[in-house]
Chain A
Amino acid sequence: MISLIRSEIYKISKQSKTLYALAAILIIEGFVIMSAYYQGAGIIDLLLDNLKDSFEFRGNLLNGNLIIYLILNSLWFHIPLILMIIISGFLTSEYKDKTLETVMLQPVSKLYFILSKYIVSIVFTLFIVLILAVTTFFISYWIFGYGDLVVYLDGLNFFKSDDAFYRLIYAFLSGSITMVFFSVVSLTLAVILKDATKTWIVSAIFLICSNLLLKIDFRNEVINELFFSKLTDSWQYFFYYEIPYSTIYFKNFMLLGYSILVMVIGVLIFKRRDIQG
């Protein structure tokens, strides 16, 4: 099992798609930073427009913490989309290149093989989120400096710089669980669909639907609390003025449960299916 994991890690490190993923993340960061640099002051102005009649403002809200928050919001769509495309490719490329058949000719357990794929996918996801977080914090603070964070969530919430720093770190940690869920789903879709293009399309549709369903009120408390799409926003809860820790723990715990369930489904399908490209 460990040798399979090592071999998967080696494959990923040698594949160009890993570099593409890292490049895509840096490009997203670059775009957010550029747009914040040129339009950030305008956004803040618009946000505080109605308060200008009564208040004078001292201090800079267009700072590193705000930029990190804006980049963090790429966890809604951009980052999971990139992850789903790359990770599904871990398996679909093996189907396409028929390397899977070659591997299966070796004395390799199908269970361990697919499990190693899932494990490496999770590790890769966590690595990408870590890279995103580290580069975001470093670049944002370097260019924009420190300062209070303002977020619109149930009103205008202002956080002191050090408080914002911890909230942003926790949000990245919580967001990584959501990213793991989407990665596991994409790998399971790859198991089911085998074909790269089909998997990308279905993964993108899954992500879009998940985002849309998050905003729909099902008028049923159980569905509203337990449906998977309702659990993918836990990282945003760190920006409520009073952090609802119990909600965050619940959502993350449930989402981990869903991830395991999806993984089990993928493993069972892979085990029972004949390996054919």
Chain B
Amino acid sequence: MDADSIIGAIFSFENYGELLVLVQNSIWAGAVLGLLGGLVGTFVMKRDLAFAVHGISELSFAGAAFALLIGADIVFGSLIGSVAAALLLGLMGVRARDKNSIIGVIMPFGLGLGILFLSLYQGRAANKFGLLTGQIVSVDTVQLQVLAGAAVAVIAALVIIWRPLNFASVDPELAEARGVPVRTLALIFMVLLGVSVALSIQVVGALLVLALLITPAAAALRVTSSPVALVVLSVVFAVTATVGGILLALGGRIPISPYVTTLSFLIYVVCRIIGSFRARKGINGRVVHAH
């Protein structure tokens, strides 16, 4: 394959207008997932759960693969897998070290199970690959409605527990003293995280979940410490990466994942550069009085 055909496979904008109409659902799905990922991601960063997201996505993948094998609903399978993993982590891993080792233990187990189920599966290969790399291009209206409904439910729950969850995440000792139900909130958040991971996997695949749930919030953290700006930027970054990735991927022949991950990564790099520039200049918001 020469350079031109590689470029042609990655970027092609022939018949773009017609394609755009066809993938309307996918674009909406991307936007919904971006919104969800951007919001949930800020708490993933505040609670230091990046590694946990990875572990949950592997178990979610195993659940989806099992559902595919037995001919059950894939969404349901991945939901069971991820919520079970999330609850397990929430219940067992109280201390950070403990949590990380538990994730390290269940992650390869989940992935191994997933590979086992996929090898036993006799159906279309595209179905298998889709679980890992996503199939956002093939979202139909019903799927979109389910996705949007579930996302709205997760976001509504998140809004209700927003302030105490934030308190418990950034200042747990004091939150406990103020009567915030720190343990309960941790469990509720793990369930919400599990559902978010399962939803994202349907569309962007198990390998891409991190680019949606972690990278945008991590990028936003590099450039702001204001809680409101953090949320806004995180959502904007996530939606930019998903919708932008879908739009770029339309013409090419390769899956959507590389576009989304690359956009997400580039945003992170730019934010990091801005952040370190500010740190070097000592710009941190302190008011300095002239003497």
Instruction: Say whether A and B bind each other.
Output: no
